[in-house]
Amino acid sequence: MQKVVIIGGGVAGLSAGIFAQMNGFNSVILEKHHTPGGECTGWDRQRYHIDGCIHWLVGTKEGTAMHDLWVTLGALDGVECYHPDSFMTVEQDGVEVNLYRDLDKLQSSWITISPQDTETINDFCATIRKLQSFQIGVAKPLDMMNIVEKIRYFASMKDAGAVMQKYGKIALTQYAERFKHPALRRTLAEFVPDGYSASSIFFALATFTQGQASIPSGGSKAMALRMVDRYLEFGGQIETRCEIAELVHERGQVQRVVAKDGRSFSGDHFVAACDPKVLFHDLLDDGYSDKAFEMRYQNQKDYPLASNIYIGLGYEGTMNGIPRTLRFPVEPIKILQTSINNVQLTHYGYEPNFAPARNTVLTVAINQFADECDAWLELAKHNEAYKHEKARIGEAVRQSIIQRFPEMAGKLQVLDVASPATYNRYCNAHRGAFMAFLPTTTGKPMAHNGRIKGLRNLHLSGQWLQPPGGLPVAAVTGKDTIQRICKDQRRPFTMGTSHH
């Protein structure tokens, strides 16, 4: 039986492993950390569970191809989902703006806030409606489609293509200027980090309003562990605490990989489901650089990476009536060289097992970009200063929440502060990135087939291969890799399982 060796046990690695087992390969997943899951994870602090990932999972709508894929992977098989009413609620100058799941309600509530923006709001919602039929491609990667399949695929992307053409080159901040009401303007402008193209909000809201982006019960870590169970059920093998440090190749074929502790794993096919920078820079010693990635790594302006400061808080109380995700203005909080003037607070009141009874766990995410990430990586080398800075930011955020919700005083504690250095340390994430290259108005979307020029039996999988990254792309590209290997080996490929 041919052997597939997979470096990285995140969602992409687990997906590759499950499809390898389903398609008659023998496989092993080698994971650096003590738990598989990669960035799709959560952690316990005191009596609370902090969910570190899923704010929305594309593919939660039954009857769609993406949902079927998650079911096959064990991620959503028989799992209830929580369907929030609103993606986010934004408070601004005494006005509350909601990004409702019900698009008619979103439209009418925005018109009530700003009748003078009616035409712009109608146009905004019409574009979202037009995109609601958009589905992420699952069955086959583009490079494996025949001409008829390609024609069908591009025909199905007609509306998406039109929206990209119209809004892909306009920054969301610039698009937001079309709205006269300051609360609507700021809601849109601050929906995604500066520099994102306006198209991102249309795709995000089209997905959310078609009911395709809810939250699986039990959260991120439970979902990753269900995928681990599925992989093990299919006979897969996982080695944890196994960081691969060397990739041995000869005459265009990878022979084996070697872990930091000296363990060696040989195989017929190798899948790098780790951060691509780890593959190109560390494992291949920059000897097999890839043009598509190098060009992007060297041009941070057009291809920015985002990381996070992620603060977990425990509240001895319930959040009844408070929206799941709320953004509100705060007194400026200094973060390294910059400062923030609003806080985005998410609570997990819908998850009974994340906190003791009548208590709630909360998180606050603060995006960090290039220079900030580098500064965090530098700071993390100085343990005391790093700890001090994280604690200072955590406390400032706690105070700003209490200012907004005075009833929380004395009942709110900071549980944990993760920084870009945390993602780098745990997942080897380059610059702590938690999403692939951001869709800016000047960058070209990535479309990578995962093949590594010059090394025939090595493939790359993961969220980096196609926009917009995130969990669905990780899952799809893990599957795509095994599909490509089957094609190379002239063997049939199966997507289905008896679990359906």
Residue 495, classed as helix, strand or coil, is coil
DSSP letter for each residue of 36-47: SBTTS-EEEETT
* Ranges within 425-464 binding ligand FAD (CB under 6 A): 427-429, 434-435, 462-463
Residue 310 interacts with ligand FAD (CB under 6 A): yes or no: yes
471 in contact with ligand FAD (CB under 6 A): yes
Q: Can you tell me which residue has the tokens 């995962």?
A: 450
Interaction residues for ligand FAD, span 91-120 (CB under 6 A) = none
User: By C-beta, is 53 or 446 nearer to ligand FAD?
Assistant: 53
Which of residues 25, 31, 296, 486 is near ligand FAD by CB under 6 A?
Answer: 31
Asked if 68 touches ligand FAD (CB under 6 A), the answer is no
For ligand FAD, the binding residue among 77, 96, 243, 302 (CB under 6 A) is: 243
SS3 content of the chain, % helix, strand, coil (to 5): 40, 25, 35
Q: Which stretch binds ligand FAD (CB under 6 A): 8-16, 148-156, 320-328, 448-456?
A: 8-16
- Identify the CA nearest to 363 among candidates 87, 84, 55: 55
Q: Are 51 and 220 in contact (CB under 8 A)?
A: yes
User: Cβ–Cβ contacts within 10 Å for residue 334, how many?
Assistant: 11
User: Is residue 474 involved in binding ligand FAD (CB under 6 A)?
Assistant: yes
Q: How far is the CB of 38 from ligand FAD (least distance, A)?
A: 2
Q: Which two tokens stand for residue 386?
A: 């790093």
Select from 108-116, 135-143, 272-280, 334-342 the region that touches ligand FAD (CB under 6 A). 272-280
Segment near ligand FAD (CB under 6 A), from 25-33, 151-159, 195-203, 409-417? 25-33
Calpha distance 320→306 (Å, rounded): 32
- Binder to ligand FAD among 12, 90, 163, 183 (CB under 6 A)? 12
| Among candidate residues 129, 235, 118, the one with its CA nearest the CA of residue 181 | 118
Residue range at the interface with ligand FAD (CB under 6 A); choices 4-12, 17-25, 111-119, 394-402? 4-12
30 sits near ligand FAD (criterion: CB under 6 A):
yes
- Residue 190 lies near ligand FAD (rule: CB under 6 A): no
The residue among 419, 466, 392, 176 whose CA lies nearest residue 310 is 419
Cα dist from 427 to 10, 38, 214, 431, whole Å? 9, 6, 25, 11
Q: Does 265 bind ligand FAD (CB under 6 A)?
A: no
How many angstroms separate the CA atoms of 77 and 497, rounded?
12
Per CB under 6 A, 53 contacts ligand FAD: yes
Q: Which stretch binds ligand FAD (CB under 6 A): 55-63, 145-153, 199-207, 246-254?
A: 55-63
d(CA 136, CA 258): 36
Q: Bridge partners of 81? A: 216
> Is the link from the previous residue into 467 a cis peptide, with omega within 30 of 0?
no
- The CA R_g of the chain, rounded to the nearest whole Å, is 23
Query: Which of 273, 343, 345, 446 touches ligand FAD by CB under 6 A?
Result: 273
> In the complex, which residues of this chain contact ligand FAD (CB under 6 A)?
7-13, 30-33, 38-40, 52-57, 243-244, 273-275, 278, 308, 310, 365, 427-429, 434-435, 462-463, 469-471, 474
